[in-house]
């Protein structure tokens, strides 16, 4: 939890009601309407979800809303058959909607492509047939490691179309991370590209994949998409018999590929995320519940209208991109902007130029990006016309009130509601959020639960308290269905508290006198760096691989732009005890190799000892106190109190 944020939100008392003009036009325009729908979603869930599901197309209707007989392994919409790609693409690719832009893509160098729903339909069918021609069938797992190009969306939807399970790997992960995920999911194929642009450099994805899949017997093919805006591929080596150029294979297949009819509980995708142990977990989401919940949240939270141009700046490699670049908005028939590159390429006015150029009306980003823009300076906004914006969103970490106010004034021109949306990879969609036409917002609060969500704040004993652990009382349609290959971990991580009656997300929160929820951050060993979840145990296990390292403890500390940064305390063996810059560089390189550049700590401190309890447990709480310059908490359980002084001296050096 970031202490700074807790302090600033505790002082926050400003209230921003939605503008009357906004409420008048919104899908839901009054608190009474929200309360009645929320009540109904909890008290008459069958009727509530029946109405929602009638807004999508099913191949066969469901007969039972939810089966909790094997709690916490829930099943939703039993008996129903559908296809997520059908609802996202096919049903808009006929009639008046067919020529509407589905994806408006902009590459970092400035090249653009627009895919109408009809184009997307055609591309997805061709991609799906290509997958089939390479032996991919329903139930197979396909890893996708692509830059933010339209084919990323097409590849994901093509998997959904034929019932293959997509496992998207963010293109900042290292070869080792690819290998872990490919082996864990037993993926038969990796889809990658010859390159993508990031801050003026070409990402060499193919050679990272080559290294990652080496020795992975499960891999039959590597399918390589050409980012061919420049007429030719970036040079990359193709391995005979294994590697296939997408454009060559696609030229050989039929244009027509029907959607497979899937059971509501068939697996739609795996997405790996960090937890409190060293090994990332494959979060499982299924077709029915995930489709419905992302459809409904996108509709109401972003108040999507036919004329909106919607831009979520996340990468499809994270859950936000899955739910709110692809499935949520596309099922609503929205026009979605997709941008390949960095926010400051070629300079920090880039995002605002995109908003102006494409007349973006709904904009969804992360607090870390907002803080980066604040730091770069307001002059980068001066030339951009942001008048098309009508609604702003935030996700990924608690937003500090200062960033909220800047976003509200500078980007929203004081007129756009801000929806601060709390959710997780595991929840599939947004659980706690304002509704833009309804909820008076307070800077830093995610406010109230969405439909079907029954949120509580509990202490360890399960009593309702005003500050404690966030808990969700009953399942909602898009709750994770488990951790791939590890049902026990699913149970232990999320259902071990409160007699298994509540889902435990791992966040701390408080509730104010108006009943608003303020999520303040993780209470487990997960750190949120620039909105990316990193398990401290994951880093610790990387450090101890190094022969000079005996032990390490990694903690999260407040960071001005990233929200949280990582500080590593590293205990060295024998002769290397003092450490050196070379060793520091080696450890950073190891993190880069095992996880990816984005997981590198801010600081690595070499230490002769770590504060431990008499039973040998590292007292991370004290390390955090040292790193944040706080008065030290209770030190009576410390085995050797002198350790603290030497660490303090080192830290402030
Ligand atoms: C944090 C990202 C406060 C939280 C969608 C959660 C937030 C973790 C918010 C999930 C928010 C996300 N306010 N905290 N609006 N949104 N978080 O799985 O700690 O990458 O548990 O999903 O991000 O991160 P994940």
Read off the pLDDT band of 625 (50, 70, 90).
Answer: confident
In order of start, what are the domains of the chain with their CATH numbers? 115-260 (3.40.50.980), 522-652 (3.30.300.30)
234 within 8 A of 196, measured Cβ to Cβ: no
User: Which residues fall within 8 angstroms of residue 525, CB to CB, at 6 or more apart?
Assistant: 276, 535, 536, 537, 620
Q: What percent of the chain has pLDDT over 90?
A: 84
pLDDT in tens, 440-475: 999 999 999 999 999 999 999 999 999 999 999 999
pLDDT in tens, 533-582: 999 999 999 999 999 998 999 999 999 999 999 999 999 987 557 889 99
pLDDT at 276 over 90: no
pLDDT at 393 over 90: yes
> For position 305, what pLDDT does the model report?
98
Does the Cβ of 395 fall within 6 Å of ligand 1? yes
What separation in Å is there between the alpha carbon of 449 and the centre of ligand 1? Answer: 15
What separation in Å is there between the alpha carbon of 2 and the centre of ligand 1? Answer: 13
> How many residues are present in the chain?
653
> For position 639, what pLDDT does the model report?
79
- Residue identified by tokens 């099913």 is 58
Q: 3-state SS of 94-157?
A: CHHHCCCEEEEEECCCCCEEEEEHHHHHHHHHHHHHHHHHCCCCCCCEEEEECCCCHHHHHHHH
pLDDT at 602 over 80: yes
Instruction: Determine how β-strand 267-273 pairs with β-strand 281-286.
Output: antiparallel
What separation in Å is there between the alpha carbon of 422 and the centre of ligand 1? Answer: 6
Lowest mean pLDDT among 58-62, 340-344, 417-421, 619-623: 619-623
Instruction: Look over the chain and give the mean of its residue pLDDT values, rounded to a whole number.
Output: 94
User: Which residues fall within 8 angstroms of residue 296, CB to CB, at 6 or more apart?
Assistant: 52, 429, 451
Q: Span 605-619, mean pLDDT?
A: 85
Distances (CA, A) of 65 to 44, 325, 460, 544: 11, 27, 31, 48
Q: Which of 396, 421, 510 to mutate to test the pocket of ligand 1 (most atoms within 8 A of CB)?
A: 396
User: Which residues fall within 8 angstroms of residue 468, CB to CB, at 6 or more apart?
Assistant: 457, 458, 459, 508, 509, 510
- State the closest ligand 1 atom to the C-alpha of 526, by its place in the atom list counted from 1: 19
Does the Cβ of 263 fall within 6 Å of ligand 1? no
> For position 459, what pLDDT does the model report?
96
Q: Span 620-628, mean pLDDT?
A: 87
> For position 638, what pLDDT does the model report?
81
pLDDT in tens, 12-21: 889 999 999 9
> For position 419, what pLDDT does the model report?
98
What separation in Å is there between the alpha carbon of 284 and the centre of ligand 1? Answer: 18
338 within 8 A of 103, measured Cβ to Cβ: yes
With residues binned 3-state (H G I as helix, E B as strand, rest as coil), the percentages for the chain, rounded to 5, are 35, 25, 40
Q: Which of 312, 528, 530 to mutate to test the pocket of ligand 1 (most atoms within 8 A of CB)?
A: 528
Does the Cβ of 505 fall within 6 Å of ligand 1? yes
- State the closest ligand 1 atom to the C-alpha of 521, by its place in the atom list counted from 1: 19
- State the closest ligand 1 atom to the C-alpha of 520, by its place in the atom list counted from 1: 3
Q: What is the pTM of this model?
A: 0.95
Supply the residue whose CA is at minimum distance from atom 24 of ligand 1. 424
> For position 65, what pLDDT does the model report?
98
567 within 8 A of 590, measured Cβ to Cβ: no
Does the Cβ of 80 fall within 6 Å of ligand 1? no
User: Which residues fall within 8 angstroms of residue 556, CB to CB, at 6 or more apart?
Assistant: 2, 522, 527, 528, 529, 536, 564, 565, 566, 567, 624
- Does 447 sit behind a cis peptide bond, omega within 30 degrees of 0 on the bond before it? no
Does the Cβ of 322 fall within 6 Å of ligand 1? no
pLDDT at 135 over 80: yes
pLDDT at 128 over 90: yes
What separation in Å is there between the alpha carbon of 481 and the centre of ligand 1? Answer: 19
- Residue identified by tokens 């060793």 is 583
Dump the DSSP string for 476-530.
-TT----BTT-HHHHHHHHSSSGGGTSB--SEEEEE-TT--EEEEEESSSEEEET
| Spatial separation of the C-alpha atoms in residues 198 and 432, rounded to whole Å | 33
418 within 8 A of 394, measured Cβ to Cβ: yes
Q: Span 319-328, mean pLDDT?
A: 98
Q: Which of 399, 423, 433, 442 to mutate to test the pocket of ligand 1 (most atoms within 8 A of CB)?
A: 423
| Spatial separation of the C-alpha atoms in residues 554 and 535, rounded to whole Å | 9
Can you name the residues that pair with 449 across neighbouring β-strands? 432
pLDDT in tens, 151-195: 999 999 999 999 999 999 999 999 999 999 999 999 999 999 998
Residue 594, phi then psi, degrees to nearest 5: -75, -40
Does the Cβ of 324 fall within 6 Å of ligand 1? no
| Spatial separation of the C-alpha atoms in residues 11 and 450, rounded to whole Å | 26
pLDDT at 11 over 80: no
- Helix or strand or coil: residue 75? strand
Does the Cβ of 522 fall within 6 Å of ligand 1? yes
CA dihedral 156, 162, 164, 165 (to 10 degrees): 50
Classify residue 441 by its DSSP letter: B
pLDDT in tens, 190-235: 999 998 888 888 889 999 999 999 999 999 999 999 986 555 667 8
> For position 70, what pLDDT does the model report?
96
């Amino acid at each position: 939890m970031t202490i700074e944020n807790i302090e600033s939100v505790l002082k926050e008392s400003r209230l921003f009601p939605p503008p009357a003009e906004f409420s008048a036009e919104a899908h839901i325009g009054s608190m009474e309407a929200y309360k009645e729908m929320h009540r109904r979603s909890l008290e008459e869930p069958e009727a509530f979800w029946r109405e929602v599901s009638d807004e999508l197309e099913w191949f066969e209707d469901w007969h039972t809303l939810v089966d909790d007989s094997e709690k916490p392994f829930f099943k939703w919409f039993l008996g129903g058959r559908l296809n997520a790609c059908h609802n996202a693409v096919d049903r808009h690719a006929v009639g008046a909607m067919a020529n509407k832009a589905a994806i408006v893509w902009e590459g970092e160098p400035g090249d653009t492509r627009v895919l109408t729903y009809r184009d997307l339909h055609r591309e997805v069918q061709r991609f799906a047939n290509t997958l089939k021609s390479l032996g991919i069938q329903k139930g197979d797992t396909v890893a996708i490691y692509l830059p933010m190009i339209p084919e990323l969306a097409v590849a994901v939807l093509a998997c959904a179309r034929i019932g293959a399970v997509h496992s998207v790997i963010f293109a900042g992960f290292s070869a080792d991370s690819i290998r872990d995920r490919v082996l864990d999911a037993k993926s038969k194929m990796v889809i990658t590209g010859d390159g993508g642009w990031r801050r003026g450099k070409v990402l060499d994805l193919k050679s990272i994949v080559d290294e990652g899949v080496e020795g992975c017997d499960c891999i039959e093919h590597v399918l390589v998409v050409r980012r061919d805006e420049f007429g030719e591929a970036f040079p990359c080596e193709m391995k005979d018999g294994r590697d296939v150029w997408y454009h060559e294979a696609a030229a050989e297949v039929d244009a027509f590929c029907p959607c497979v009819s899937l059971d509501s509980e068939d697996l739609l995708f795996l997405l790996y995320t960090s937890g409190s142990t060293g090994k990332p977990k494959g979060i499982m989401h299924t077709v029915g519940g995930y489709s419905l919940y992302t459809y409904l949240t996108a509709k109401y939270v972003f108040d999507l209208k036919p004329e909106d141009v919607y831009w979520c700046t996340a990468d499809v490699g994270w859950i936000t991109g899955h739910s709110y670049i692809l499935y949520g908005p596309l099922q609503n028939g929205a026009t979605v902007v997709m941008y390949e590159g960095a926010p400051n390429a070629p300079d920090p006015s880039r995002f605002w130029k995109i908003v102006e150029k494409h007349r973006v009306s709904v904009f969804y980003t992360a607090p870390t990006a907002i803080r980066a823009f604040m730091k770069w300076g307001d002059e980068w906004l001066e030339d951009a016309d942001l008048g098309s914006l009508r609604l702003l969103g935030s996700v990924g970490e608690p937003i500090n009130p200062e960033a909220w106010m800047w976003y509200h004034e500078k980007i929203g021109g004081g007129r756009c509601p801000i929806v601060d949306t709390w959710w997780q990879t595991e929840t599939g969609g947004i659980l706690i959020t304002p509704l833009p036409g309804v909820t008076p917002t307070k800077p830093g609060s995610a406010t109230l639960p969405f439909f079907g969500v029954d949120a509580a704040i509990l202490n360890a004993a399960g009593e309702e308290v005003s500050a404690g652990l966030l808990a969700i009382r009953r399942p909602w349609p898009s709750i994770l269905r488990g951790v791939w290959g590890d049902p026990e971990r699913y149970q232990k991580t999320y259902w071990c508290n409160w007699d298994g009656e509540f889902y435990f997300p791992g966040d701390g929160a408080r509730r104010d006198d108006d009943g608003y929820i303020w999520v303040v951050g993780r209470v487990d060993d997960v750190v949120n760096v620039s909105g990316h979840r990193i398990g401290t145990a994951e880093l610790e296990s990387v450090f101890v691989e190094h022969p000079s390292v005996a032990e390490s403890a990694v903690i999260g500390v407040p960071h001005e732009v990233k929200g949280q940064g990582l500080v590593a305390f590293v205990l060295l063996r024998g002769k290397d005890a003092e450490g050196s810059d070379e060793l520091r560089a080696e450890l950073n390189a190891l993190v880069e190799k095992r996880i990816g550049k984005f997981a590198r700590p801010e600081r690595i401190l070499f230490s002769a000892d770590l504060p431990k309890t008499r039973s040998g447990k590292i007292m991370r709480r004290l390390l955090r106190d040292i790193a944040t310059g706080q008065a030290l908490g209770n030190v009576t359980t410390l085995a050797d109190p002198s350790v603290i002084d030497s660490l303090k001296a080192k830290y402030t050096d």
